[in-house]
């Protein structure tokens, strides 16, 4: 079983540097928890929008699951349909 990395999404929201840091985390971890801080969210729908944008920018090898204000990303070896 792979390890889980942790990262926070703050008031700068999703930037190119944030996406690069996610990619760097996946060099050492199989799963990643992204905590959406209060300064970055208006409601639960904003968390869903963030997860969709992150998946769109990362590619097809990733899936996301939302639990509360946390997005859990998983990287797969093959592209997920």
> What CATH number corresponds to the domain at position 10?
3.30.110.60
Length of the chain: 81
Report CA 15 to chain centroid distance, whole Å: 12
Helices (H), ranges, 7-65: 16-25, 44-58
Q: What is the pLDDT at residue 50?
A: 96
Q: What is the pLDDT at residue 81?
A: 64
What contacts 41, CB < 8 A, 6 or more positions away?
47, 50, 69
Q: Is 81 inside a domain boundary?
A: no
Q: What is the pLDDT at residue 24?
A: 94
Q: Is 80 inside a domain boundary?
A: no
Question: Against a cut of 0.85, is the pTM above it?
Answer: yes
Domain limits for position 16: 4-75
Q: How many domains does the chain have?
A: 1
């Amino acid at each position: 079983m792979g390890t889980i990395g942790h990262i926070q999404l703050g008031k700068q929201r999703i930037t190119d540097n944030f996406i690069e840091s996610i990619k760097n985390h996946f060099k050492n971890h199989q799963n990643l928890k992204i905590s959406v801080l209060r300064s970055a969210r208006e409601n639960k729908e904003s968390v869903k929008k963030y997860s969709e944008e992150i998946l769109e920018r990362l590619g097809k090898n990733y899936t996301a699951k939302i639990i509360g204000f946390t997005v859990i990303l998983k990287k797969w070896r093959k592209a997920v349909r």
